[in-house]
Structure 1
Amino acid sequence: MKHVLSTVITSLALGAALTANAQQSQADIDKKVDALIAKMTLEEKVGQMAQVTLDVIGKGKNRYSADQPFELDPAKMKDVFDKYHIGSILNTSANRALTPQRWYEIISTIQKTSLKTDKNKIPVIYGVDEIHGATYTDGATMFPQQIAQGAARNPKLTELGASITAYETRASNIPWNFSPVLDLGLTPTFSRMWESFGEDPYLCSVLGAAMIDGYEGKDNNIADPYKLASCMKHFLGYHATISGKDRTPGYISEDALREYHLPSFKAAIDAGAHTIMINSGIINGVPVHASYNILTKLLKEELGFNGLVVTDWADIENLHRRDRVAATDKEAIMLAINAGIDMSMIPYQYEVFCDNLIELVKEGKVKQDRIDDAVRRILKVKYALNLFDKPNTHYKDYPKFGSKEHEKAAYDMAAEAITLLKNEGSVLPLKKDIKVLVTGPNANTMRGLNGAWTYSWQGDRVELHAGKYNTILEAVQNKIGKGNVTYVPGVSYKEDGHYYDELANQMDEAIAAAKNADVILLCLGENSYTEKPGDMNDLYMSDLQTELAQKIAATGKTVILVLNEGRPRVISKFEPQMKGIVQTYLPGNFGGDALADILFGDVNPSGKLPYTYPRYPNSTIGYIHKPSEEQKKAEGVYNYEADYNPQFPFGHGLSYTTFEYKDLKLGKPAIKKGENITVTVTVTNTGKVAGKEVVHLFTSDLYASSVTPDVKRLRRFEKIELKPGESKTVSFELTPKDLSYVGRDGKTLLEAGDFEVAIDKLKATFTLSE
């Protein structure tokens, strides 16, 4: 009874704190911030603009790598908080996940130390990359990565997953999450493609806003102890590199920047996201961290973003040391702060940043007003989080942490994300009384299912924390019995084992084992990676895996290819020999269970590709492209080999039932500028099992005057569930914004003319007039 009473009292206290803060208007916060800024010295203000990594204040010989197990160093904290007034800490130490209790001990001590030494009693704001669950917390619920959520096409599940992540992150005493990623996954070679929701601006906008609603609540009341401050990233055009490699230059025209890359960030700002992180790369020759036009003119003035702008890891010093647009660190700091940066993720040499910025202000090279604006944005977030009144959240107040309820949400997301790409002869679902050979490097690994940012940066510590969950092999064994399953790993990921754990090369053993199997589950893909370690030169599936696939197929057995990868590795060398293909993406800790349920028919797959799956490495054009990129073969003309020819198109995904689309209708055959138009279609489940279907609405502007129109664009989608024989009429409404495009001058145009609407294979045309 004492425990129950304590829980009730705690809940009431949390509710009271929430209610009190909810009644605090933005005007009240602004007054408190202005009053506080008026009392602060220049040194204190600059300290608020600095963020250092946890190792800096840990015991050890240097600040780059603290001793383990991690312990805070009072002397280092005194320098950081008392002398330099540092306002933010990020990250974990030595790439290790901690328990909620340990997080509480560390961060509460940091807060206590900072508040004790700071005469203004300003709390620290602690931030971590919790991108698919509470990444750095042992026992947290790990959801499918964003690319899989893009495949699920279910905003409600995305919002729920983010809400659970917020809850479990707060259970770790962390109030700031560097998520969501709103970059477009345009380049299949890019090492962070899987961190995006996919290649479409509208898809990214809808799911990004849903994720922010989950993190912050629809009212953005982040004082709620179950919510946190989200951080949009990476503004702007981060994935659109020419080389396809991380943190390399992009060349993006003004119309492309606004047409494709800006919408998801605009939607997130409208959703109320409190903070934003900046693109580490270079656009049109200018590092984004030094771009006044992007950070101030576009982000703060045009888009009206009033929140906190933070750099990515060491990106101010990169202006000098890597990008060479600044001759010194001091000049780099001047460029970045004047461009519009509010907080520097330093992460180690805080003295360089603080001392130089103080000098720059005294020299008049950075205006005091710019400093005050940056600090005001930082303090507003701290007040919004209620950190001044409640700097810590206690793990004991979060009884649902890692609960079955939360795990069920992660499983549901994985089950809706996994995508059936090929099902020749309805080979799937499989019967449960068969003999199965499970082979391939992704068959028995939790690391492959989760990807990076899982218990550690590169995901290389997953096996230390995820032992209680099921790999693909274990899930299949649980489904049909160990006696019906043979496992041979087959091959490693790459011949040299570079960046990957080696597996024994057992290709001959796998071929031999195939003789006794009815079906072979060939589990291919990638190990975990992100950022520069994930850069690649060859988009084909690795040579050893390709050889295994070809030799396994040559046995004549039924082969089901299970893809477990963060980006679409090219499989055209062996795809024709695969009877079935299932894409799992990076489905998280419950991906193995969800996959087994799909393979054996307990779940009907409903995922849809969030990107275009290329057939060849030199043919990676996405579904958003120009008519000239579809080089149609014509009689008497060149027989073009390089036509638009993806292995699987954007939006592709099969089901164990069939859906019929009919009666595509427009509200009017013609509309005038400023009017909306309604589009309806009837969808019927014509199969024998219940299923979920994503209804996609595309539009095509048939002619445009300023720039060549795209072949088609996704404007709406809705996921529906139908029983056998059931029909549903789905209705969409298109606005003038959906019919507009960005011209060469960067301005939005709405032009009279004909437009085409497409849903599935149905099409209809309407006219827009002046």
Structure 2
Amino acid sequence: MYRSALRLSSLGLVLGVLAAPAPAVHGGPVRAAPGPGSYLDSRLPVEDRVADLLARMSLDDKLGQMTQPERRYVRPEDVTRYRIGSVLSSGGSAPSPNTPQSWADMYDGFQRAALAAPLRVPIIYGADAVHGHGNVAGATLFPHDIGLGAARDPALVRAIGAATAQEMTGTGVDWNFAPCLCVARDDRWGRTYESFGEVPELPAAMTTLIEGLQGDRLGGPASVLATAKHYLGDGGTEGGRDRGDTRAAEQELRAVHLPPFREAVKRGVGSVMVSYSSWNGLKMHRNGYLIRDVLKRELGFTGFVVSDYNGIDRLDGEEGFTRDEVAAAVNAGIDMAMVSSDWRRFIGYLRDAVRDGTVPMSRVDDANRRILTEKFRLGLFERPMADRAYLRTVGSPAHRALARRAVAESQVLLKNAGGVLPLDRRDRVFVAGRGADDIGVQAGGWTITWQGAPGPVTRGTTILQGIREAAGPSATVAYSRDGTGVDRSYDAAVAVVGEQPYAEYHGDLTGGMDLDAADLETIGRLRASGVPVVVVMVSGRPLDIASELPKWDAFVEAWLPGTEGAGVADVLYGATAPTGRLPVTWMRDASQQPINQGDGKKPLFPLGYGLTYG
């Protein structure tokens, strides 16, 4: 099914003859259209439709298309008045109540406002659906990218992209700020889990997510625009500092960080997001060489480039943006600015820069041509409203089954002394740990809110619930969060430990990378009982566990599995054999960071390591 053709009882206006042009917001009148609205004729080539529409647009129309406010800071009437081209939901920004239906209603409200402007150019609505439609309560949440990198299954990743696109389509959101194609070179970085791995081959292979999101063709059934991010080198900053500086020769930048973006362009990705970080001291948001010359000309990228959230603000090292920063970013090749609350000032600064020639009109036209081309390709002019037929897919059994399979494939078995795994369905099992019965912990950041949070934040199956379902009807599965109550009567104990939720910047580690003291105490209680101890780690990156590992009978890295914890149990009980392999090198201790394949450092486990049963 395509985006619903219903869309508005008034949508016939969109497909009909243009109304008389209204006055521009701040300048002279909109120029008279040179004839019937041929850009509304879907039978014409996209290039011709774009050219016709551009010829009708005033400067105000064009500036609006280049502007993306956050939904909390823009009203539908602003979208109409300022010809806004896009609106976004940042992490945790959701309508109330947070239901799929409410999202569709919100989206349609903004879209009606866009269609009420003289030229009736639809908006495109963006969100960070980085492991499923994560802002929406009840959506299916898949493993974060590091787990999918461990699974090493491009076809699976394509299917995840398609499922995510369906759930987005039902809510109206038609632009996904994913995939993240960073190559994580330092595990202290708070976005390590957003990376498919430490070598460029892994994220390059997983660009199949783009094909899943956009479909066989952009604008087909349940097709949303994909975004390759963050361009370029964000995974290589010194010290793993988010928004930091990647100090590297161009040869290294090209060899390590560019290949996934080259592959994304080959797969037809519609947008690219620029990184907060710098390359050798120059902020990426003003790096014309890498954006204009390398991305657009050398790689042949024909989509549009969007800034990161308020990414233009700190080009001069100070908060807030100036007119000079706006001009520098646009001239460097940024086509659309994600400017959250201060979007009116952005429009004003850009207008002034165009009028005095600091930003050439040809640059503004190029940006609009790129943005409008993707909107036409996406079919927004014909099908602008949310396709509510897809609402039934949000959190559907089929999507949860796919996620469960992805979770199982992402598990990496790193130790299995004495063959304690797989567990027998008749075993008496004692389960403990802060991550055992907590959807929020196992889903991690970018889940309902930006940083994520522990607790029952959305629907799903915890790892404990999965274990109870996997055990046989006569088996005993006991649970205590801190491990109290375990004794020798159990056949095995499972400790689910690891990291609490976090996201970019706040998740950077500047000190140690040890397990939390509470987790170590829990494991200690289980060990003291004398039963075999299986440690399941829920984390977004390797942690410093070398000194503890000899005390554990088995060790499984579960990454951040999302809402379907039963996939972890599938591996613990042998319903699925472990096949995951490390997408990053596992350090012996935190002092080795950064540690990567081929750097001469001796790891605890090398890149690609992983055991299986039997």
Q: Same fold (TM over 0.5)?
A: yes
Aligned amino acid, residue 389 of structure 1 = E
Aligned amino acid, residue 206 of structure 2 = L
In structure 2, how many angstroms separate the alpha carbons of the residues matched to 1:226 and 1:122?
A: 20
CA contact (8 A) 1:514 1:520 kept: no
In structure 1, how many angstroms separate the alpha carbons of the residues matched to 2:312 and 2:162?
A: 32
Superposition deviation, residue 92 in structure 1? 5.8
In structure 1, how many angstroms separate the alpha carbons of the residues matched to 2:5 and 2:571?
A: 40
Aligned amino acid, residue 114 of structure 2 = S
1:514-533 matched pairs, under 5 angstroms: 514-533=487-506
CA contact (8 A) 2:79 2:110 kept: no
More displaced stretch, 476-485 vs 106-115: 476-485
Aligned amino acid, residue 481 of structure 2 = P
Q: Which runs of 5+ in 2 are unaligned?
A: 8-38
Q: Deviations over 1:438-482 (max 9, x none)?
A: 11211111112111112222222861322xx32122222233369
- 1:226 aligned onto 2:222: yes
Aligned amino acid, residue 237 of structure 1 = G
CA contact (8 A) 1:10 1:397 kept: no
Aligned to 2:105: 105
1:391-470 matched pairs, under 5 angstroms: 391-397=384-390, 399-460=392-453, 463-466=456-459, 469-470=460-461
In structure 2, how many angstroms separate the alpha carbons of the residues matched to 1:521 and 1:366?
A: 61
CA contact (8 A) 1:190 1:245 kept: yes
1:287/1:10 Cα in 2 relative to 1: closer, same or farther (>3 Å)? closer
User: Secondary structure at 1:473's aligned position in 2?
Assistant: helix
Which of 570, 575, 578 in structure 2 is aligned with 1:605? 578
- 1:90 aligned onto 2:88: yes
1:121/1:511 Cα in 2 relative to 1: closer, same or farther (>3 Å)? closer
User: Secondary structure at 1:420's aligned position in 2?
Assistant: strand
Q: Deviations over 1:10-53 (max 9, x none)?
A: 7999xxxxxxx9x968x811111112112211121111100000
TM superposition outliers: structure 1 runs of 4+ over 4 Å: 7-13
1:495-534 matched pairs, under 5 angstroms: 510=483, 513-534=486-507
CA contact (8 A) 1:100 1:173 kept: no
CA contact (8 A) 1:511 1:555 kept: no
CA contact (8 A) 1:175 1:229 kept: yes
Aligned amino acid, residue 215 of structure 2 = G
Which of 371, 374, 377 in structure 2 is aligned with 1:381? 374
1:294-309 matched pairs, under 5 angstroms: 294-309=290-305
Aligned residues with identical type, % of pairs: 33
Which of 67, 71, 89 in structure 2 is aligned with 1:54? 71
Superposition deviation, residue 207 in structure 1? 1.0
CA contact (8 A) 1:453 1:459 kept: yes
CA contact (8 A) 1:550 1:574 kept: no
1:155/1:546 Cα in 2 relative to 1: closer, same or farther (>3 Å)? same
Q: Which runs of 5+ in 1 are unaligned?
A: 1-6, 14-20, 58-75, 491-509, 630-643, 658-770
More displaced stretch, 222-231 vs 475-484: 475-484
In structure 1, how many angstroms separate the alpha carbons of the residues matched to 2:474 and 2:339?
A: 51
In structure 2, how many angstroms separate the alpha carbons of the residues matched to 1:104 and 1:605?
A: 39
1:282/1:9 Cα in 2 relative to 1: closer, same or farther (>3 Å)? closer
Aligned to 2:12: none
Q: How many residues align?
A: 578
In structure 1, how many angstroms separate the alpha carbons of the residues matched to 2:444 and 2:3?
A: 40
CA contact (8 A) 2:169 2:224 kept: yes
Q: Which has the larger radius of gyration?
A: 1
Aligned to 2:288: 292
Superposition deviation, residue 321 in structure 1? 5.0
- 1:584 aligned onto 2:541: no
1:292/1:92 Cα in 2 relative to 1: closer, same or farther (>3 Å)? closer
Which of 352, 360, 370 in structure 1 is aligned with 2:363? 370
- 1:489 aligned onto 2:481: yes
Q: Deviations over 1:162-187 (max 9, x none)?
A: 11111111111111111001001221
Aligned amino acid, residue 466 of structure 2 = A
User: Secondary structure at 1:135's aligned position in 2?
Assistant: coil
1:155/1:79 Cα in 2 relative to 1: closer, same or farther (>3 Å)? closer
What TM-score do the two structures reach when normalised by structure 2? 0.89
CA contact (8 A) 2:585 2:597 kept: no
Aligned amino acid, residue 42 of structure 1 = L
More strand as a share of residues? 1
In structure 1, how many angstroms separate the alpha carbons of the residues matched to 2:560 and 2:312?
A: 32
In structure 2, how many angstroms separate the alpha carbons of the residues matched to 1:512 and 1:577?
A: 20
Aligned to 2:158: 159
- 1:343 aligned onto 2:332: no
More displaced stretch, 253-262 vs 391-400: 391-400
CA contact (8 A) 1:104 1:395 kept: yes
CA contact (8 A) 1:439 1:487 kept: yes
In structure 2, how many angstroms separate the alpha carbons of the residues matched to 1:247 and 1:617?
A: 21
Aligned to 1:650: 607
Superposition deviation, residue 580 in structure 1? 0.4
CA contact (8 A) 1:96 1:456 kept: no
1:174/1:417 Cα in 2 relative to 1: closer, same or farther (>3 Å)? same
Q: Which structure is richer in relative contact order (CA contacts within 8 A, separation 6 or more)?
A: 2
CA contact (8 A) 1:450 1:586 kept: yes
Superposition deviation, residue 587 in structure 1? 1.2
- 1:277 aligned onto 2:270: no
Superposition deviation, residue 100 in structure 1? 2.4
